[in-house]
Amino acid sequence: MNKSCSDCLNKCEKKENFFQKKQCNKSNVFDWLSNIKSPFEYQKYDIVEVQFKNKRKEFFLNKEKIFLNKGDTVTVETKSGIGYDIGLVSLTGELVKFQIRNYTINPNTFKKIYRKSTCKEINSWKYLKRKEFTTILKAKKIAKNLNLSMKICDIEYQGDGKKAIFYYTAENRIDFRKLIKEFALYFHIRIEMRQIGYRQEAAKISGIGSCGRELCCSTWLKNFKSVTTNSARYQQLSINMEKLTGQCSKLKCCLNYELDAYLDTIKDFPDFNRKIHTEKGIAQCMKIDVFKREMWFSYVKNSNIWFRIKVKKIKEIFEKNKIAPPLEELSTSIQKKELIFKDLSI
């Protein structure tokens, strides 16, 4: 009988640098129920969350009632049912129920945990992780020789080394049947090609954003929502693509973080396209200040002079435009100088 050894992984991790360990432990969930005992000890929740390379997490059934703690290395069943895979226990107990709500998973499809990984399995798994770097370099050369317009960005070996997943990005559809044959002949393993988006690629590579912190996609962000330039326009940001794009060459995900707050505030603003009619001419909105609740107007014929007016005052002006003749002027005292801003707030 093979002896289970949970210290093997800890000994190997001491040889890894800090960044690699950070990559391994990212997206962890704080188990705030760990010190709370369930009143139903005989009905302990037997679903366990296991984390694999990068952020990939899956749920497994602890059918054998193995005593597991966070950080334990376990040998689990694969989706295909062929061979086994190895991962780290990231969450146990009642809190797993809350995590499952974030995913649309059928509970009947959970694979099972075989056992705690043995020293031999852990050493083999660590060897495969070190082998990934040389494998991806050779895979890129093979893809380049076949003139395929794709980028292989990451590779993940199965725990037993009988299968490998190649992650790639491509703008168009790729016929990689020849590529799979070349990979199988050279690496002598089962090959699975999995296409990912550019945001997922940035999450795997990781890095430091313009804010000085590690990328959101590589730490805590799970779902990637579409980001458009309208998100920047609603927040009155200049459309400078160099500043608005992230390391994935797409618009930054953080443009959506405060968007709902801006949209709720803008609902109380008058229509930006509506114009003020005066005897001197027509004035149009040039920009808005969401925080100070102000709007800047200028005459169409003289756009160099802007007038800052509170939202409350603008609504009164629009009401007067409906029932009365055009207003005389926006201001009775206008200095004829360019780019002079007058404060008409009351």
State the average pLDDT over residues 61-81: 90
Domain end call among 84, 118, 152:
118
- Predicted confidence band at 37 (pLDDT cuts at 50, 70, 90)? low
| Residue range 177-217, pLDDT digits in tens | 899 999 999 999 999 999 998 888 888 888 898 889 989 88
| Residue range 112-147, pLDDT digits in tens | 999 999 999 999 999 999 999 999 999 999 999 999
The predicted pLDDT at position 273 comes to: 86
The predicted pLDDT at position 31 comes to: 64
Residue 322 lies in a domain: yes
Please tell me the distance from the alpha carbon of residue 202 to that of residue 308, in angstroms, as a whole number: 42
Domain count, the chain: 2
Residue 262 lies in a domain: no
Residue 211 lies in a domain: no
| Residue range 319-334, pLDDT digits in tens | 887 776 666 666 543 3
Residue 173 lies in a domain: no
The predicted pLDDT at position 41 comes to: 53
- Which residue has better confidence, 216 or 44? 216
Residue 191 lies in a domain: no
Beta strand 294-299 with 306-310 is antiparallel
Domain end call among 118, 138, 158:
118
Q: Print the domain residue range for 336.
A: 276-343
Q: Rounded to two decimals, what is the model's pTM?
A: 0.69
- Label residues 232-256 b or e (16+ Cβ within 10 Å = b): bebeeeeeeeeebebbbebbbbbbe
Amino acid found at 65: K
Please tell me the distance from the alpha carbon of residue 176 to that of residue 150, in angstroms, as a whole number: 10
The predicted pLDDT at position 346 comes to: 44
Q: How many CB atoms lie within 10 A of CB 162?
A: 14
Residue 149 lies in a domain: no
Residue 251 lies in a domain: no
Residue 98 lies in a domain: yes
Domain end call among 62, 85, 118:
118
State the average pLDDT over residues 95-103: 78
